[in-house]
Structures are given as structure tokens and as C-alpha cells.
Amino acid sequence: MAKIGIPRTLAYFNYYPFWKIFFDELGHEVVLSTPTTKGILDDGVKVAVNDACIPIKVYHGHVVELANKVDYLFCPRLVSLRKFGDFGTETFCPKFLGLPEMIRYGIENVPEIIDVRVNLGSAKKQIDKVCYEVGQILGNLPNQILQASKKASVIQKKYEELLHQEFLPEQALDKVFTNKKKAKKIDKKDKFEPELKIAVVGYPYAIYDNYINVGLLNILKNENVKILTQDMVNDSDMNKQIRTLPKSMFWYYSNRVIYGTLHFIHRGDIDGIIHVTAFACGPDSMVDRLLEIEARKRSSIPYMSVMIDEHSAEAGVRTRVEAFLDMIRYRRDKN
């Protein structure tokens, strides 16, 4: 049995259930890094290249935390998940594609890296090929790999259904991996009458990591706000927005943010939109401006962007969010 390290950031928020079950079924132990802390961020800043965006620096910090605890680091080369966009050219951003090399040559004493190429848009059943390559590295038999892949797909589907029922990822993970008693407590806690509904859009590793967004979601929850994110929108509803723009972006996460935001603009019950963007993110320099233009052109829904970096402070974000909510309440009461 091998210990497999998975950093709790980047694609973790989308695909952790699949890989957790896959490795468990193969008889290996998954070691997950802790939620992001100041120590993790500081370690990441020390070893990452200077011009990396904060999510990449955070990823480096999570790897440093796992380095001496595991036999393998699971760091797949994420190329594409679907054939999408003009000429089927949608990919992950270049830093995702080069992440295994950045880790291998940037961090000392890093364990062996499982850096299989994930290019699911290139042909059918590519996920089976990816799973087979991973299982071979770990010494598992083909029939074991096939069964593990099937069970992982079932759990991943259940997780995504929970997201579409408007559970946040940590709530959905609790329901997938914990007992029924705790799941009932999550259901009870989630039933409340919100004063406002706010769409929080952005890359999953920015909007769900409470440390690097300095507790944005908790600030909203304490203001009696129902939080909705693009991951709660199913593919069918998201794809309806594609024809409303002349062109799609090249990047997977950027397209999800854009089409998820357009869905919320037209949904009819959203009081405001907050876009969380990371300093030094190349794709976001276009995405943020596009969202601002489209929100203004298509609706009167208030829009605000919150940029995060390693120097972001909780007081600054809290002040902006509280002012944003006060403005929404003022408009509502005035009308």
C-alpha cells in the first residue's frame, strides 16, 4: 500500500471525490494536505517562481506540507476535460500544464510525482486510459483499476448532483464521505431564509479557499446571504448561455465562470454578483472586464470584483463586501 498525497487546492474542489475513491479502492492511502494556512502560503511563496499567481504559490505550499509524509504526489498534467469551443481548443491555463515541472524542479525532496496527462477532450473513454496509467504506476492489476474507476465515477456523479442542489463543496464532501447523522445536521443547518442571494463566481481554488479569500464566504453567511456559485449550475443550463456570446475563451475554468455568471444574470432572483479574481492571473484580466461589461449591458444587478493576493487583508475585504450589501439593501428598500 502506498501513501498518495493530494494538495487541498486547485482541482481538489472539483475532482477530489473521484480520486479519493479510486485510490481507496486500489488499496492505497490518500493523504490530504490541511486547509490553507499562513504557513502554507509562506512556504509556497518561498519556493514558487516570483511571477506565479497566488493559487500556484499556494499549491507549492501544500506540496511542501505533504513532501515528507507520502510516497507519491498526485499532480496530474491537466490539459482538457472536454472538446469545447472554437475548433475544440479549450484547455487549462499554461500554469496547470506546466505544474508537474514547476513542482519537480522548484521543491527539494519532493516524492515521486504521478503526472499523468489528462486530456479527456481528445477522444472517448480517455478517463479509463488515465486511470490505467495511474494504476500501473502503483502496481495494480487491470481488473482492479477498472472496478475502482467505475466506483469512483459513481461517487463523483453523486458529488456533482449535490453541488447542483446548491450545496457548497465542503458540505457536499461531508455528505458524500460522512455518516447519515452528520448529513442530516448539514441539511438542517442549510435550511434558512436568506435576506439576499449573491452569486460568487471565480475559479474554485479562489472562492472556496477561506484563507486566500480571507473568509469571504463566511462574511456573506454572517450577513444572512445565500451563496450561489457557478459549480451549482448544471451543464445544460450553462450551455444555454454559449450562443449569447460571439466567442468562447480558451480556458476551461474561465468559460465556466463566464457562462455561470451569465446564467445568474438571467435567473431572476439574484441580488448581486461578486467576482473573485487572483492578482497576476492572465485569463482573469480578460474575464473580469468581460463580466463587468455583460452584467451592465444585460441587467441592473450590482457587480463587484474582489482581487486577492498574498497581501490581502480581512478588514479590507469585509469593508467592501459590507458596503456592497448595504448598497443592495438601500436600492431594494428605495424601490
Report the share of the chain in percent with pLDDT over 90: 77
For residue 132, what pLDDT is reported?
A: 96
Average pLDDT over residues 187-197: 77
Is 295:273 a contact under the CB 8 Å cutoff?
Answer: yes
For residue 311, what pLDDT is reported?
A: 74
Q: Cα dist. 170→31, 48, 176, 179, 227 in Å?
A: 17, 27, 10, 15, 13
Average pLDDT over residues 48-60: 92
Note the pLDDT tens digit of each residue in 17-40.
Answer: 999 999 999 999 999 999 999 999
For residue 129, what pLDDT is reported?
A: 94
Task: State how far the Cα of 55 lies from the Cα of 269, in Å rounded to an integer.
Answer: 31
Number of Cα atoms under 13 Å in the Cβ half of residue 251: 19
119 sits in which H/E element = strand 117-119
- Cell 466567442 -> residue: 247
Burial 27-57 (b: 16+ CB within 10 A, else e): ebebbebeebeeebbebbbebbeeebbbbbb
Confidence check: pLDDT of 243 > 80 = yes
Beta-carbon contacts of residue 107 (< 8 Å; ≥ 6 apart): 47, 60, 63, 64, 67
For residue 188, what pLDDT is reported?
A: 59
Choose among 75, 65, 121, 126: nearest CA to 96.
75
Q: Which three cell numbers stand for residue 322?
A: 459590507
Bridge partners, residue 91, by sequence: 251
Confidence check: pLDDT of 252 > 80 = yes
Is 36:10 a contact under the CB 8 Å cutoff?
Answer: no
Confidence check: pLDDT of 198 > 90 = yes
Beta-carbon contacts of residue 8 (< 8 Å; ≥ 6 apart): 32, 33, 34, 35, 36, 62
For residue 183, what pLDDT is reported?
A: 64
Domain ranges in the chain are 3-176, 194-334
Q: Which three cell numbers stand for residue 289?
A: 472586464
Confidence check: pLDDT of 185 > 70 = no
Note the pLDDT tens digit of each residue in 302-315.
Answer: 999 999 887 778 88
Domain spanning 194-334, CATH class: alpha beta
For residue 279, what pLDDT is reported?
A: 85
Bridge partners, residue 303, by sequence: 273
* pTM listed for this prediction: 0.91
Q: How many CB atoms sit inside 10 A of residue 316's CB?
A: 12
Q: Which three cell numbers stand for residue 21?
A: 475513491
Note the pLDDT tens digit of each residue in 67-124.
Answer: 999 999 999 999 998 877 766 788 999 889 999 999 999 999 999 999 999 998 777 7
Edge-to-edge strand ranges of the sheet holding 29-32: 29-32, 3-6, 72-74, 112-114
For residue 192, what pLDDT is reported?
A: 73
Average pLDDT over residues 267-291: 92
Confidence check: pLDDT of 4 > 90 = yes
Note the pLDDT tens digit of each residue in 142-159.
Answer: 999 999 999 999 999 999
Edge-to-edge strand ranges of the sheet holding 272-278: 225-228, 196-202, 272-278, 303-308
Range list of H helices, the chain: 12-25, 38-47, 54-66, 94-97, 99-106, 126-137, 142-164, 169-177, 180-190, 204-207, 216-222, 235-239, 252-267, 282-298, 314-334
Confidence check: pLDDT of 180 > 90 = no
Task: State how far the Cα of 75 lies from the Cα of 118, in Å rounded to an integer.
Answer: 11
At 280, is the pLDDT very low, low, confident or very high (cuts 50, 70, 90)? Answer: confident
Beta-carbon contacts of residue 16 (< 8 Å; ≥ 6 apart): 6, 32, 173
Report the share of the chain in percent with pLDDT over 70: 95
| Average pLDDT value for the chain | 92
Task: State how far the Cα of 138 lies from the Cα of 235, in Å rounded to an integer.
Answer: 33
